[in-house]
Structure 1
Amino acid sequence: MKIRDLSILVGIIGIVLMMVVPIPKHLLDLLLIVNISAALMILLISMNTRDAIQFSIFPTLLLITTLFRLALNVSTTRLILSGHDAGKVVATFGSFVAGGQIAIGFIVFLILVIVQFIVITKGSERVAEVAARFTLDAMPGKQMSIDADLNAGLINEMQARERREKIEKEADFYGAMDGASKFVKGDAIASIIIVAINLIGGFVIGMAIHGMTLNDSLNTYAILSIGDGLVSQIPALLISTATGIIVTRAASEGNMAQDLSTQLFRYPKLLYIVAGTVTLLGIATPIGIVATIPYAAILAIAGYRLQRNLAKRQHEEELLVEEKQIEEVRSPESVISLLQVDPIEFEFGYGLIPLADAQQGGDLLDRIILIRRQCALEMGLIVPVIRIRDNIQLKPNEYVIKMKGNTVARGELLLHHYLAMSPGFEDDAVTGIPTKEPAFGLPALWIDEATKERAELAGYTVVDPPSVVATHLTEVIKRYAHELIGRQETKSLVDSVKESYATLVDELVPNILTVGDIQKVLAKLLKEKISIRDLVTIFETLADYGKYTKDPDVLTEYVRQALSRQITQQFANPNEPLKVITVSPGVEKKIAEAVQQSDQGSYLAMEPTSTQAIYNKLSEQINKTLQSGQQPIILTSPNIRMYMRQLIERSLQDIPVLSYSELEPNIEVQSVGVVNA
């Protein structure tokens, strides 16, 4: 145990022993001086604290000082009643501070107790109670504000964690202060009782035991009792004041001296009004100008100097800002900052600001939080922070979605309208502004509030503008998810798996595959909208087959087969056959024969005429499937699946291509078309 820790333990034990073991007068004088200096130190610290959390030990310190003060009261009471002498400090406070008059000393003591008990302690107790309640009630809102700033890119994960910890500490601190303020209140009551005991008990003991006269006993024990009360109440008053200062600190940017000088004299012109009022008071009342004119002159001069300094400071700040801007433009680092590109950006025109402004009822930030959670659950992808900003270069109702600085989607919204999508047949009573649903490109109408109920009764799908944006943003993230996962993001996923499956990760990385190899496989899965949430199964498969091949295409096929249960549940409906478009053996043979091998892997090298013929037949079957209201799914043999995917990737990238090995054995498959060429 360190000496510092040991000394604190010895000090606490010593305070308890003071209540039992008699203390010599000289030692008691020293401890009383220590009590006064400690109280003054606590008051000065509370005045110079910028934030209440910086003095978080204060509730505990309040209990210790109160216990120390009560132990001193017990010791002084023992000396007063036993030998009518409690040392020089008590005697000095009883005679010198009281001015040699018992009545004056007693009245001063009562005033100190009343000020502490009724004014400071009671007010501090109430403030601490309200602050604790309000801090707890405000915690959910503060947490949501932190999440909103995090999603908007205003802070990073580390800053968000620090803010959350500060909120928790504030709640704990004000809760502790609510209870600790009761100690000060009890201390004030105990001081009155102790003085009464010393006064009455000493008066009786002086006459009965020490043989004093009535007048001598009263004078002696009254002075000692009042001295004991004053020497304990002055430190108590200092600590009570410190308690009030700590619990009333709010929205502070500096210590108490800085706040007073900055905020109290922020408007120098008001000092002229005060100076004029004081001058008028001296002229119009019997107070006289002799007492008021000098003070009014001081106020006027102070206002003039403050006003001049304020103007000078503002001018210096403006020059400093201009110089800083010039230096930023001239510095070589100013260009480097322009090279940083946000992974995802959502920009909108000024007409759509209410969507993101919580004060105007906008919930876009909350929806983005849900989108990130949804993507994590459905795709296993940690979506980076989406930066939201307004752009005056866009149309008022226009928005764009950017990936790494490039626009990948755009749309327009009409606030105070609803987007209505037809169920397949039109209702002439439903009228609006023709448009296209931005996420899927379906024909739709912008309708007003009056038409909304009619559209819903007619079977239209009606959504509000925030839902339109959320759906569009979700679909864009899913479509370009493979671009959002890089080596750094892959390393984070690997580290998260390593926490629970250290043996698996240690075998796979870097002995079998590098982080870059894993990233390529995960990106290929996401490109075909296959969730990578089951990382354990993915890593197990890569550890098994990565020993034989490093080709990401081949490894992806093995992983897809290992995820057969997940893929089957993704595309097949329970209790219904999976309707697919199959590929004839002749077409599969043509594709297999056109596969070429290279150092970088295998690729499809088919003649353009054959490619066009297969593509035409495939498009024909897909159109038939779409017309019947079904989702087209292409089913091939495992050895050509990835080449069929390469064949249609550019023009039909949203059409799933599955192999027989990726489906569960118990799934029923029904062919709705065959590709022949």
Structure 2
Amino acid sequence: MSNIATKLRLPNLKETQWQILAGPVLIMLILAMMVLPLPAFLLDLFFTFNIVLALMILMVAMFTQRTLEFAAFPTILLFSTLLRLALNVASTRIILMEGHTGSAAAGHVVEAFGHFLVGGNFAIGIVVFIILVIINFMVITKGAGRIAEVGARFTLDGMPGKQMAIDADLNAGLIGEEEAKRRRTEVTQESDFYGSMDGASKFVRGDAIAGILILVIEMVGGLLVGMLSHGMPFGQAGETYVLLAIGDGLVAQIPALIISTAAGVIVTRVSNEQSVGEQMFTQLFSNPRVMVLAAGVIGLLGLIPGMPNFVFLLFTGGLLGLAWWLRGADGKGRTSSGTAADGQTEKDPIKQESLQASEATWQDVQFEDMLGLEVGYRLIPMVDGAQSGELLGRIRGIRKKFAQDMGFLPPVVHIRDNLDLTPTHYRILMKGVEIGSGETQPERWMAINPGNAVGSLEGEPCQEPAFGLEAVWIDEVLREQAQTQGYTVVDASTVMATHLNHLIAMNASDLFGRQETQQLLDRITKDMPKLIEDLIPGTVSLTVLHKVLQNLLAERVSIRDMRSIIEALAEHAPGQTDPDELTALVRVKLGRAITHQWFPGSGELQVIGLDVGLERILIQAAQSGSGLEPGIAENLMIQTERALQRQEAMGAPPVLLVNHILRMMLSRFLRRAMPQLVVMSNMEIANHRPIRMSSIVGGQ
């Protein structure tokens, strides 16, 4: 089987190796032509190949629909220029060495261009060569180089706007991560292409100058070699060597002219779904009135005595015929679109389209977005990529940071304006339901009092939307003063981003659905394929795994350490199927990470504890399943809230440490009223960490 697979892969491998070696082989061939003398037959082959290559490049340029489809053009331009120069060197060598033997000394291609194209007259050849060089150097190459220069400048200037537009579409959910990555790569490639074309155009201009110098050197050198080395008279030496030099120059400049034209086609085209030929024909010959007016002008000139009447009137008839054909085709198209095959008139296309649009289809079914942000009209610039909205970049950073911290990628935030909101108001929605709202002022700054700020500020009092802290909207001029007084000063986009980040963290378990579970499972399978294959879905179903991960996220436990989670499930799932019990066992496995999350370092753990008597009563209630008595439950709630306030005043983490049996029950009971409270089991604490009960719940 392996041999068959190897044989099947072998052609692709050979093809790849051939493509990789094409560039180095061509470079070695060019260097060899510059150093080694070549026979006339090989020169004929290489000159013919040079012409064919130029024609192929022009045809590819004509048929490309987008500029980046021929992104290798600058490199090909460099190689083709080097090839022509190498051929010039090789042909110059053989002309000076063997030119006295006859007109075919440098091959039949050079001979044909030197005799047939210019009639064997070297004066005509020189004039034709100079005209070709002027056309190439002064017109085509100069224009293409200028267009490439301007294109490179505008492309580089437009890159930030294009990048922000891509980010806006990504954050709005119009495109996915892969499409955004592809568009960013395309923008970068486009800028690189025009920058390369700006420099590559200098190759062609330099090639044109080199062609003139090589022609002069060949003619002067040929005259000297013919008269001094071979004793030829001046006239014979001039006729022989000048014609060979002219043939050599023409056979090099014609391909150069073709490739310069291809460069002009590449940089002047406008990207759409049509090739250059289709664009030219459809846009030039699409209007019959243009044909009629052009026929009228050329017809009037054709009636003037002394003008070439026959030719002008011939073109007049051709243009009128073309106009009649275009108008007839246009009318036929309209008739066929408005009349059915049986002769009955169909409905007007616009009316038909509107009728179809009025019909309900499954496309009208709109699903709720997992996360949404609605803004008033004054906040639109903050979320508009075209207006350099900073909030888009912040939201992207929030999603990336959340994925790094919590272990899964939150859904895309779909942003839209809502004219029903007040101009500076915004709403954050989850599954179509509002989970938070606030008001922000784009032109001002929010000065937040973290609790130790001194003095007052002139501005509009408000409340920080994420954590409910006292704040003031201030003007830009008071920003430094507010920072000096101990206020935390943030801009409007930071206020919204912080609020969104807080709500995403608080609702992480609800945002983690079955689809995210499957995507996370696919991601883990790449690293631990065998373990996942044996565990899921054979031992643990996707539903149970989803519930366990949701339970962890509900209590702000990161699921980044999926290896430990999978190992814990693989160890305990065969004997335990309850997701809540499995969650408790997974938490013990993650104990070190949970402890480090709330108590970084290796110092003492300051926690809230339970009174021994109260703990005994709670354990009995948990084991019997009778639940808490109302009096005990109310007293437990009040005392825990007081202990939590003392803990926060001390600057210690809001952690309640309880017996492992009580953790799940107390977490569900207490966190409804105190969502910031963290309930940890004593089995989740590392043995080497010292513990101090800074507050006791249930004590006298």
TM-score range, shorter chain: 0.7 to 0.9
Cα distance change of structure 1 residues 220 and 4 upon mapping to structure 2, 3 Å threshold:
farther
The equivalent of 1:600 in structure 2 is none
Identify the match of residue 227 of structure 1 among 211, 228, 247: 247
- For the Cα contact (< 8 Å) 1:253–1:259, is it kept in 2? no
Task: Report the 3-state secondary structure (helix = DSSP H, G, I; strand = E; otherwise coil) of the residue aligned with 2:574.
Answer: coil
Identify the match of residue 106 of structure 1 among 126, 133, 149: 126
Identify the match of residue 157 of structure 1 among 167, 171, 177: 177
The equivalent of 2:693 in structure 1 is 670
Cα distance change of structure 1 residues 218 and 426 upon mapping to structure 2, 3 Å threshold:
closer
Task: Report the 3-state secondary structure (helix = DSSP H, G, I; strand = E; otherwise coil) of the residue aligned with 1:154.
Answer: coil
Q: 2:44, 2:602 → 1: CA distance?
A: 91
The equivalent of 1:463 in structure 2 is 490
The percentage of aligned residue pairs carrying the same residue is 41
What are structure 2's unaligned runs of at least 5 residues? 1-13, 338-347
The equivalent of 2:9 in structure 1 is none
2:580 counterpart letter in structure 1: D
Deviation, 1:565, is: 2.9
- For the Cα contact (< 8 Å) 1:84–1:221, is it kept in 2? no
Identify the match of residue 655 of structure 2 among 633, 658, 665: 633
Deviation, 1:124, is: 4.5
User: Which of 522-531 and 38-47 deviates more?
Assistant: 38-47
Q: 1:251, 1:154 → 2: CA distance?
A: 22
The equivalent of 1:648 in structure 2 is 670
Deviation, 1:639, is: 0.8
Q: Does residue 1:381 correspond to 2:414, yes or no?
A: no
The Cα offsets for residues 363-402 of structure 1, whole Å up to 9 and x where unpaired, read as 0011112212321233233222211111223222221111
The equivalent of 1:530 in structure 2 is 557
The Cα offsets for residues 260-315 of structure 1, whole Å up to 9 and x where unpaired, read as 56778999999999999x99x99xxx999999999999999999999999999999
- For the Cα contact (< 8 Å) 1:581–1:621, is it kept in 2? yes
Cα distance change of structure 1 residues 141 and 433 upon mapping to structure 2, 3 Å threshold:
closer
- For the Cα contact (< 8 Å) 1:583–1:636, is it kept in 2? yes
Q: 1:420, 1:15 → 2: CA distance?
A: 69
Q: 1:60, 1:274 → 2: CA distance?
A: 42
2:363 counterpart letter in structure 1: S
Q: 1:313, 1:355 → 2: CA distance?
A: 48
Task: Report the 3-state secondary structure (helix = DSSP H, G, I; strand = E; otherwise coil) of the residue aligned with 2:661.
Answer: helix
The equivalent of 1:365 in structure 2 is 392
Q: 2:620, 2:277 → 1: CA distance?
A: 85
Q: Does residue 1:569 correspond to 2:596, yes or no?
A: yes
Deviation, 1:637, is: 0.9
The equivalent of 1:39 in structure 2 is 54
Q: 1:160, 1:145 → 2: CA distance?
A: 10
Task: Report the 3-state secondary structure (helix = DSSP H, G, I; strand = E; otherwise coil) of the residue aligned with 1:546.
Answer: helix
User: Which of 535-544 and 247-256 deviates more?
Assistant: 247-256
Deviation, 1:477, is: 0.2
Task: Report the 3-state secondary structure (helix = DSSP H, G, I; strand = E; otherwise coil) of the residue aligned with 2:637.
Answer: helix
- For the Cα contact (< 8 Å) 1:513–1:546, is it kept in 2? yes
- For the Cα contact (< 8 Å) 2:647–2:654, is it kept in 1? yes
- For the Cα contact (< 8 Å) 1:116–1:188, is it kept in 2? yes
The TM-score with structure 2 as length reference comes to: 0.78
Total equivalences in the alignment: 665
Q: Does residue 1:239 correspond to 2:254, yes or no?
A: no
Q: 1:198, 1:391 → 2: CA distance?
A: 77
The equivalent of 2:208 in structure 1 is 188
TM alignment of 1:557-596, pairs within 5 A: 557-572=584-599, 578-595=605-622
The Cα offsets for residues 621-658 of structure 1, whole Å up to 9 and x where unpaired, read as 44565677766432211111101112224333332112
The Cα offsets for residues 382-440 of structure 1, whole Å up to 9 and x where unpaired, read as 22221111122322222111112222111122232333444558988535444332212
The equivalent of 1:51 in structure 2 is 66
1:640 counterpart letter in structure 2: L
Q: 1:195, 1:246 → 2: CA distance?
A: 29
Deviation, 1:184, is: 3.2
1:149 counterpart letter in structure 2: D
Q: 1:611, 1:130 → 2: CA distance?
A: 76
User: Which of 61-70 and 420-429 deviates more?
Assistant: 420-429
Q: 1:590, 1:266 → 2: CA distance?
A: 91
- For the Cα contact (< 8 Å) 1:604–1:643, is it kept in 2? no
Task: Report the 3-state secondary structure (helix = DSSP H, G, I; strand = E; otherwise coil) of the residue aligned with 2:559.
Answer: coil
User: Which of 382-391 and 410-419 deviates more?
Assistant: 410-419
Q: Does residue 1:436 correspond to 2:463, yes or no?
A: yes
Task: Report the 3-state secondary structure (helix = DSSP H, G, I; strand = E; otherwise coil) of the residue aligned with 1:161.
Answer: helix
Deviation, 1:211, is: 7.3
- For the Cα contact (< 8 Å) 1:541–1:559, is it kept in 2? yes
1:555 counterpart letter in structure 2: L
User: Which of 403-412 and 485-494 deviates more?
Assistant: 485-494
Cα distance change of structure 1 residues 182 and 321 upon mapping to structure 2, 3 Å threshold:
farther
Q: 1:23, 1:250 → 2: CA distance?
A: 45
User: Which of 52-61 and 498-507 deviates more?
Assistant: 498-507
1:615 counterpart letter in structure 2: M
1:333 counterpart letter in structure 2: W
RMSD over aligned Cα, in angstroms?
A: 4.9
User: Which of 399-408 and 147-156 deviates more?
Assistant: 147-156
- For the Cα contact (< 8 Å) 1:434–1:444, is it kept in 2? yes
Cα distance change of structure 1 residues 433 and 176 upon mapping to structure 2, 3 Å threshold:
closer
The Cα offsets for residues 57-81 of structure 1, whole Å up to 9 and x where unpaired, read as 4344334544554565467653671
The Cα offsets for residues 169-224 of structure 1, whole Å up to 9 and x where unpaired, read as 44664565566545434533443344335434544566678876544443344344
- For the Cα contact (< 8 Å) 1:591–1:604, is it kept in 2? no
The equivalent of 2:341 in structure 1 is none
Task: Report the 3-state secondary structure (helix = DSSP H, G, I; strand = E; otherwise coil) of the residue aligned with 1:50.
Answer: coil
Deviation, 1:105, is: 2.5
- For the Cα contact (< 8 Å) 1:487–1:519, is it kept in 2? yes
What are structure 1's unaligned runs of at least 5 residues? 598-602
Q: 1:614, 1:267 → 2: CA distance?
A: 86
Q: 1:270, 1:671 → 2: CA distance?
A: 91
TM alignment of 1:91-130, pairs within 5 A: 91-98=111-118, 101-121=121-141, 124=144
Deviation, 1:479, is: 0.6
Identify the match of residue 103 of structure 2 among 85, 106, 109: 85
- For the Cα contact (< 8 Å) 1:348–1:398, is it kept in 2? yes
User: Which of 324-333 and 457-466 deviates more?
Assistant: 324-333
